[in-house]
Every structure is written in C-alpha cells, then in structure tokens.
C-alpha cells in the first residue's frame, strides 16, 4: 500500500478505477450502434412501403381458350417495366439512406471513429434488405395464383423484385458518401491546443498538463 497525504491506496485501486472508467465508454458505444441499426431498420421499412407504392410492376395478360386461362403473356414493355422497378428502388434507397446517414452523423458529432463508419456500412446493408423484403411483401402477389381466378384477357401485376442485386449496395454506399461529406464540411473541427497558450492561461507557477514538471501545488512525494 502507498500513503500520500494521509490517504492509503492499494495497488489494485488504479486498475479498478481504470476499468470502471472504461465501462461508460463501452456502454455509450453500444447504445450508438443499437441506435444506428434501429434507424436503418425503420428507414428500410419506410423505404419499402414507398417503393411498393411508387413502383409500376410488369403487367401480364391472361391468355387461354374455351377451357379457361392457360397462362400469362407479357408485352414488349415488360423489360422496361422491370428496369423501372429497379430504378425506383435505387432512387428511394439513395434518399432514405442519405437522410438517415445525415441524422446519424449529426448526432454522433465530429469525433465519430472508424467503428461508426463500419457500422454505417453494416446498417446500410441491413436497411437494403429490410426495404427490399418490405416492398416485396406489400407489392402484388404471385401472378400465376392471381391468374387462376381471372378471366381471359384480364391483366395481373407481376411481383416486385430487385433483379440486379448490386443495387442493394446503393444503401451502404450512399450512407458512407453522405457521412464523409457531413463530417468533412458541415461539422466543426476540434482546434489544436497550443501548449504555450495553455500554460499562460493556467497562470504563473503551473506547468502545462502532461509535461511532468513540478508545480507549486503538487503535494510532496512520500519518502
């Protein structure tokens, strides 16, 4: 044990204090990660609802004979309609991911580290999957099942789908791009600390913190 100024310290006290000091930072980081993931899950749900509402899926025509419907036939515009569904998904994804990333970056501030960047990419991927699944679930059902109850000549809508899976990368890419812009141009940067100015602000007789020089207020070292 060590006695300084009448106080007794055990050798393990410093380690215990350091461990206790690290716990709030770990808890804060965990809450930040959970908030980022939750934000992108909610954004994915809203984006999926918007995608299902805005997308114009392929329209099939029910064909058949006297015995009833025998199949589905798509017109020449089917390819462009499928492409339009994917483009709509990408446009909604850019807006949703950019807005969510802006809110996250403004909340975390300019001191966000590399871990926040990694979790933004992960959360963007989660948001992409959630939005795609939500839009598919809310969009038209199986056209073949719908054709069984339709008459010949009727039109049935195809299911929504993201045929080009690379479009899902729009979410994390937009999140990281917006994060870089916000952190670089919109948030204030920490000013570097001048040791000389810090020493003058503390007044005479006090050395800058961390310099190791003795000061007038330092307690005498134990013998």
CA distance 96 to 98: 6
- CB contact burial 180-208 (16+ within 10 A = b; e otherwise): eebbeeeeeeeeeeeeeeebeeeeeebbb
Contact 149/62 with Cβ under 8 angstroms?
A: no
* Nearest to 138, CA basis, from 160, 162, 157: 160
Note down pLDDT in tens along the chain; length 223 residues. Answer: 545 445 554 555 444 444 444 455 567 767 878 888 999 999 999 999 999 999 998 888 877 765 556 677 777 778 888 899 999 999 999 999 999 999 888 877 665 567 778 888 999 999 999 999 999 999 988 887 777 777 777 788 888 999 888 899 999 999 999 988 888 876 555 555 555 555 555 555 555 555 555 555 555 555 5
pTM of whole model > 0.85?
no
Look at residue 65 in the predicted model and tell me its pLDDT. 62
CB-based contacts of 40, cutoff 8 Å, min separation 6? 97, 100, 123, 124, 126, 127, 130, 171, 175
Instruction: Please write the tens of the pLDDT for every residue from 9-35.
Output: 455 544 444 444 445 556 776 787 888
Q: Where are the domains of the chain?
A: 33-186
Look at residue 133 in the predicted model and tell me its pLDDT. 95
């Amino acid at each position: 044990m060590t006695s300084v100024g009448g106080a007794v310290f055990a050798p393990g006290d410093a380690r215990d204090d350091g461990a206790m000091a690290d716990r709030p930072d770990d808890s804060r980081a965990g809450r930040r990660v959970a908030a980022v993931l939750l934000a992108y899950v909610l954004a994915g749900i809203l984006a999926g609802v918007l995608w299902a509402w805005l997308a114009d899926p392929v329209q099939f025509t029910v064909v058949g004979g006297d015995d009833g419907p025998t199949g589905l036939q798509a017109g020449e515009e089917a390819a462009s309609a499928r492409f339009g569904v994917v483009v709509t998904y990408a446009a909604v994804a850019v807006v949703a991911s950019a807005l969510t990333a802006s809110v996250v970056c403004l909340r975390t501030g300019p001191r966000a580290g590399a871990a926040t960047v990694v979790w933004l990419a992960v959360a963007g991927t989660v948001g992409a999957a959630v939005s795609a699944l939500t839009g598919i679930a809310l969009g038209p059902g199986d056209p073949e099942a719908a054709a069984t109850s339709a008459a010949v000549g009727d039109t049935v809508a195809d299911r929504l789908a993201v045929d080009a899976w690379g479009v899902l990368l729009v979410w994390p890419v937009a999140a990281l791009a917006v994060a870089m812009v916000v952190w670089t141009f919109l948030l204030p940067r920490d000013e570097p600390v001048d040791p000389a100015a810090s020493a003058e602000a503390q007044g005479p007789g006090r050395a800058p913190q961390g310099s190791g020089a003795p000061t007038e207020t330092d307690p005498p070292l134990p013998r």
